[in-house]
Structures are given as C-alpha cells and as structure tokens.
C-alpha cells in the first residue's frame, strides 16, 4: 500500500473542501449491508459503498460506518460480530489503522454512537443501511463535489491499480491457454479464477468470456459448460481487484483464421494509436470520434465496407459495427463516477449526437485513469437494418457472413494520463509477465 498516508490526507482535504462548499459540518458513510435473496437466507455478493472504499481498503466489510468532521480524526465503527455461523472479519490491521480512531462494534445498531450531537450532517449510503439517527440523505450537491475529483488518482490508488493489472494479466494468460487447449467457456473462466486467486464473489465485475459468436454479445453473461465443436475465437473481458481498486482488460484471440486475425491485428493497431493519444487537454469525446474514423478505415482496408471513412462516420454506419463508447473512468468502481460531470458543483458535459453510450466526456488531465476499448462486431440486430438500407450495396456481405461466426473484436487497456507519455497499466503488466 505505497503512499496510503498521502492518499488519506488527499481524501481528507477533498472531503473537507466538499463539506465547506455545501454547508455540511459532518459526514457519515455506511459501508453497506448484506442483501438476501427473496424468501431465502442466502446473501448476494457484497461490495462496499465506493465512498467508503475510497477512504479505506475494506471492500468486503458490511455494517461498518466512517464518521468525519473537519479538523478531527476520522472515526470508524468496525463491525466484528460474535458469530459462530460465519467467520467474522479479522481485527483491523495494516497501515490504514494509524489514521483514524477505531471502535469495534458487535451489532450494526452500535454505530449510532458515531452520530454527532449538532450541526448539519450528510449521510452517504443506501437506504437499507439506515439506523436511528443515521438515515442516508445523500445530498446531491455534496456527492457531485466528492465524485468530480475522484477522476484524478492518487499515487496509492495507482499502485493498487498496477497490482490489480498484474493480477488480471495472470488470469488472461491462463484463459488464453485454456482456449488454445479447447476448453469451454466455463473451463476458461475457472482457469482465470485459479490464476488470479479470485472467486466469482469478489471479482470487480462478472467475467465476459465469449467463444465464437458469443463475442458479439457486448456484456455476454454466461459461461457455457459445453465445449463447442470449433474454437474459432475468444473474447475475454475480465478484471481483478486489489484493495477495492479494479483492473478492466479485454483481449480477443483467434483460433487460426487469417481473415479474423487480420481484423484483430488492425483493431489492435487502432487501439495502440488511441492509447498514445491519451494526453492532457484532450477532449475524450474527440478521442471517441477519432476511434470511429480509424475503425472505419479498418473496415475499408479489409474490404468489409467500400465507403470512405468520413462518409461511414457521417452516415452513422460505423455505429453498427462499434456501438459502445470508447471507454470510461476507472478506479474504486469499474465504471468510476464523474465521467460526464462538467465541474465540481455538477452539471453534465453532453455526449456527441448519436453516441448515447459514451461514459466519459471530460477533458483528460494528469492522473486520470481511463479505459481505451475500441471494437468491431458483427451483431445481427444492428446489421439487419443496414442490409435493408441505402448503404447495403457498400457492404461485402460475404465477408460479413464469414466473420460473423467469430462474433467480434474488442481490445481494452487501462491507461493513466500523465504530463507526457501515457502509462499503459495493462500492457506494462503483460510485458512484465512475459519476462
């Protein structure tokens, strides 16, 4: 946890400024509560409130509360129940414990002792975390001022994300070996979990592991246990986590078809070019539109679309092949907050017309961690209207029919904007693992 004391001080200062600007005297943050399946006693996977995790590396700790008053040491109600049905959390330990006063509580209700006696209180959390006198009110004006600066990562956060990238890369390498050995989607998923040391319950997001045509489903949510007759392609979008901070990496592998491999290589070249363009002062919306132009060039060069790239973008044709945003902010949340926010006080920077799924519209600054994930897919529901439209004659439908069985290509890296050359957390981790 290199740099945690400085990180703690930065979060303290940001929070102090946010409280002052919005007229609140105190802040309380609930880590969250376990949620259970309806009519059952089986819990859903727990993940702490990201506002809580931004302070403390306790992403799996339910029923805890953090109390902060500017000028005073933060206080933590650390829930450690006397429970013989489940293993309770270990006693608090680590460098983070030196920076706040910790009170062990045996029941969630004991956290009410953190409630200040007077002044305006902001309480951040879900409604079901409420306790008497600690009812979440989630003031929008305060949330905006807490969300906006989170885009700029501290050195501690970047260190956690580097470690998460290394962990994820171990999984991606194992997944590729399982694919090349003829494994099913489930086999590949289990190889990934084994290599990363994760379980399904503590991944930062559900693994997307799509063989063949499943690679055309952007958020494919299953892992088929049956091995397909052919292993034409694998698209794997899978991450890892360290101290609550996520990696988010996507790779696409070919089973040997030269046409599909040419498409992978072309998208990879576009992706590398876009990564190199992650620079201070760059409007991320421009980078997203640049991706459409460069991917249109790929479609033209490979003979899939006989149309000038500018015409493809202007007509909206590229959106049938690349229907999602170029990327998003990344941090203690995979899709980190504040990506559309205009300024600390709030407001929204609009997305480009016709691009409703873009998650990031801000201008890049040093310290921002973003994903860069261009893709080209062959999705029937998007291509069928093109087949019936004026642009149909410009499409090589035989090429589409051939490439359709591979699903699509997406390549995603986690990238940090710096004062100079961007830091590519993902490719740096792959390079380190190869030595």
Q: Are residues 16 and 111 in the same domain?
A: yes
Q: Among the three residues 94, 115, 149, which one is the final residue of a domain in this structure?
A: 149
> In sequence order, what are the beta bridge partners of 79?
105
Three-class SS of residue 190?
A: helix
What does the alpha-carbon distance between residue 53 and residue 13 come to, in Å, rounded to a whole number?
Answer: 16
* 89: its two tokens: 């959390």
CATH number at residue 410: 3.90.230.10
Q: Are residues 235 and 365 in the same domain?
A: yes
The answer to whether the beta carbons of residues 133 and 109 sit under 8 Å apart is no
Q: Are residues 118 and 212 in the same domain?
A: no
What does the alpha-carbon distance between residue 265 and residue 247 come to, in Å, rounded to a whole number?
Answer: 23
For the residues 384-391, what does the mean pLDDT come to?
96
What does the alpha-carbon distance between residue 40 and residue 122 come to, in Å, rounded to a whole number?
Answer: 33
Q: Are residues 120 and 169 in the same domain?
A: no
Q: Among the three residues 134, 149, 164, which one is the final residue of a domain in this structure?
A: 149
What does the alpha-carbon distance between residue 41 and residue 249 come to, in Å, rounded to a whole number?
Answer: 34
Among 171, 424, 205, 224, CA closest to 336: 205
- Element holding 424 (H helix, E strand): strand 423-424
Q: Are residues 165 and 111 in the same domain?
A: no
What does the alpha-carbon distance between residue 247 and residue 164 come to, in Å, rounded to a whole number?
Answer: 5
* 406: its two tokens: 């591979």
What does the alpha-carbon distance between residue 207 and residue 240 come to, in Å, rounded to a whole number?
Answer: 10
Q: Are residues 73 and 126 in the same domain?
A: yes
pLDDT above 90: percentage of residues in the chain: 99
Q: What is the pLDDT of residues 286-341, one digit of tens each?
A: 999 999 999 999 999 999 999 999 999 999 999 999 999 999 999 999 999 999 99
The answer to whether the beta carbons of residues 236 and 188 sit under 8 Å apart is yes
φ/ψ of 142, rounded to 5, equals: -75, -45
The answer to whether the beta carbons of residues 173 and 217 sit under 8 Å apart is no
* pLDDT for residue 167: 98
Please report where in the chains the tokens 């379980």 appear, as a residue.
199
Give the structural domain span for 166: 155-433
DSSP-assigned letter for residue 303:
T
What does the alpha-carbon distance between residue 243 and residue 58 come to, in Å, rounded to a whole number?
Answer: 7
Q: Collect all residues with Cβ–Cβ distance below 8 Å to 344 and sequence separation of at least 6.
A: 21, 144, 145, 148, 149
* pLDDT for residue 1: 60
Q: Are residues 96 and 175 in the same domain?
A: no
CB atoms under 10 Å from CB of 135, counted, come to 12
Q: Among the three residues 105, 131, 149, which one is the final residue of a domain in this structure?
A: 149
The answer to whether the beta carbons of residues 386 and 317 sit under 8 Å apart is yes
* pLDDT for residue 239: 98
Q: What is the pLDDT of residues 200-243, one digit of tens each?
A: 999 999 999 999 999 999 999 999 999 999 999 999 999 999 99
Q: Are residues 267 and 192 in the same domain?
A: yes
- Element holding 405 (H helix, E strand): none
Provide the number of structural domains found in the chain: 2
Q: Are residues 202 and 344 in the same domain?
A: yes
What does the alpha-carbon distance between residue 156 and residue 160 come to, in Å, rounded to a whole number?
Answer: 6
Cross-sheet strand order for the sheet of 369-372: 369-372, 413-416, 423-424
In this prediction, residue 2 has a pLDDT band, given cuts at 50, 70 and 90, of confident
The answer to whether the beta carbons of residues 238 and 172 sit under 8 Å apart is yes
The answer to whether the beta carbons of residues 296 and 326 sit under 8 Å apart is no
Please report where in the chains the tokens 């205009």 appear, as a residue.
342
Q: What is the pLDDT of residues 271-291, one digit of tens each?
A: 999 999 999 999 999 999 999
Q: Collect all residues with Cβ–Cβ distance below 8 Å to 109 and sequence separation of at least 6.
A: 131, 132
What does the alpha-carbon distance between residue 51 and residue 49 come to, in Å, rounded to a whole number?
Answer: 5
Q: Are residues 223 and 108 in the same domain?
A: no
In this prediction, residue 126 has a pLDDT band, given cuts at 50, 70 and 90, of very high
Q: What is the pLDDT of residues 37-78, one digit of tens each?
A: 999 999 999 999 999 999 999 999 999 999 999 999 999 999
Q: Are residues 300 and 324 in the same domain?
A: yes
Length of the chain: 435
Q: 121-124 and 26-30: which strand pairing?
A: parallel
CATH number at residue 64: 3.40.350.10
* pLDDT for residue 127: 96
* pLDDT for residue 250: 99
Q: Are residues 171 and 125 in the same domain?
A: no
Q: What share of the chain is helix, strand, coil (3-state, %, to 5)?
A: 40, 20, 45
């Amino acid at each position: 946890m290199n740099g945690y004391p400085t990180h703690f001080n930065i979060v303290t200062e940001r929070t102090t400024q946010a409280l002052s600007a919005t007229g609140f005297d105190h802040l309380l943050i609930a880590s969250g509560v376990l949620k259970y399946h309806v009519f059952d006693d089986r819990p859903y996977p727990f993940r702490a409130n990201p506002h809580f995790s931004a302070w403390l590396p306790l992403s799996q700790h339910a029923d805890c509360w953090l109390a902060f008053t500017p000028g005073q040491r933060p206080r933590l109600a650390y829930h450690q129940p006397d429970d013989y049905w489940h293993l309770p959390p270990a006693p608090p330990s680590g460098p983070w414990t030196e920076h706040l006063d910790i009170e062990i509580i045996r029941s969630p209700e004991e956290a009410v002792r953190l409630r200040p006696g007077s002044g305006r209180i902001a309480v951040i959390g879900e409604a079901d975390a409420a306790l008497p006198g600690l009812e979440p009110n989630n003031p929008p004006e305060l949330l905006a001022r807490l969300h906006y600066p989170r885009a700029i990562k501290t050195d501690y956060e970047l260190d956690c994300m580097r470690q998460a990238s290394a962990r994820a890369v171990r999984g991606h390498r194992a997944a590729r070996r399982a694919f090349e050995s003829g494994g099913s989607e489930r086999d590949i998923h289990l190889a990934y979990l084994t290599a990363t040391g994760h379980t399904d319950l503590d991944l930062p997001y559900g693994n997307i592991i799509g063989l063949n045509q499943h690679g055309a489903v952007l958020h494919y949510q299953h892992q088929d246990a049956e091995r397909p007759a052919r292993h034409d392609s694998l698209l794997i979008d899978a991450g890892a986590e360290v101290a609550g901070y996520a990696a988010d990496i996507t790779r696409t592998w070919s089973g040997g078809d030269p046409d599909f491999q040419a498409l992978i290589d072309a998208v990879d070249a576009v992706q590398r070019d876009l990564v190199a363009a992650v620079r201070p002062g760059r409007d991320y919306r421009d980078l997203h539109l640049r991706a459409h132009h460069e991917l249109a060039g790929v479609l033209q060069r490979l003979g899939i679309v006989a149309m000038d790239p500018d015409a493809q973008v202007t007509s909206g044709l590229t959106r049938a092949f690349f229907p999602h945003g170029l990327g998003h902010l990344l941090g203690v949340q995979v899709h980190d907050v504040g990506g559309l926010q205009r300024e600390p006080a709030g407001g929204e920077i609009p997305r480009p017309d016709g691009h409703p799924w873009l998650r990031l519209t801000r201008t890049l600054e040093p310290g921002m961690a973003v994903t860069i994930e261009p893709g080209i897919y062959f999705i029937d529901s998007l291509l069928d209207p093109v087949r019936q439209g004026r642009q149909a004659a410009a499409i090589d439908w035989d090429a589409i029919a051939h490439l359709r069985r591979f699903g699509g290509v997406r390549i995603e890296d986690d990238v940090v904007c710096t004062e100079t050359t961007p830091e590519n957390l993902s490719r740096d981790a792959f390079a380190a693992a190869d030595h």
